[in-house]
Amino acid sequence: MVLFTADWCRRCLLMFPTLNNLDLEYKDQFKFYTVNIDKELDITTRYEVSAVPTTIVFKGGHLMTTYMGANPLRLKALVEQYK
């Protein structure tokens, strides 16, 4: 799971505790990463991220789904769906 964020995004900041909790809960089942859209333009462009926060789930190197928004319950649901 990759969370695309920006330093200026307040909703993104609210997602960090959720991501940290999910990382602890699913430690050996799921990997979590963040990408700052202002610092990683190549990755942001490659995955056509146009709003933050955006979460992309990959499985086996393949893009499974993209979610735009800051709903902690939705992130947990995505983990459950793709673990």
The domain that holds 72 is classified in CATH as 3.40.30.10
Domain count, the chain: 1
Q: Is residue 73 assigned to a domain?
A: yes
Q: Is residue 56 assigned to a domain?
A: yes
Q: Is residue 24 assigned to a domain?
A: no
How does strand 2-5 pair with strand 33-36?
Answer: parallel
pLDDT digits 0-9 by tens, 14-68 = 999 999 999 999 998 999 999 999 999 999 999 999 999 999 999 999 999 999 9
Mean pLDDT of 2-16: 95
Q: Is residue 7 assigned to a domain?
A: yes
26: Cα separation from own chain's centroid: 14
Q: Which of 1, 6, 9, 56 is catalytic?
A: 9
pLDDT digits 0-9 by tens, 67-80 = 999 999 999 999 99
Question: In this structure, which amino acid lies at residue 17?
Answer: P
First-last CA distance in the chain:
10
User: Which whole-number Å values give the CA distances from 15 to 46, 57, 60, 62, 65, in the listed order?
Assistant: 23, 15, 24, 23, 18
- Give the residue numbers spanning the domain of 50: 2-14+32-82
Q: Which of 12, 49, 57, 70 is catalytic?
A: 12
Catalytic annotation present for 75: no
Give the pLDDT confidence score for residue 4 in this predicted structure.
Answer: 98
> Is residue 17 within 8 Å of 53, Cβ to Cβ?
no
Catalytic annotation present for 32: no
Q: Is residue 25 assigned to a domain?
A: no
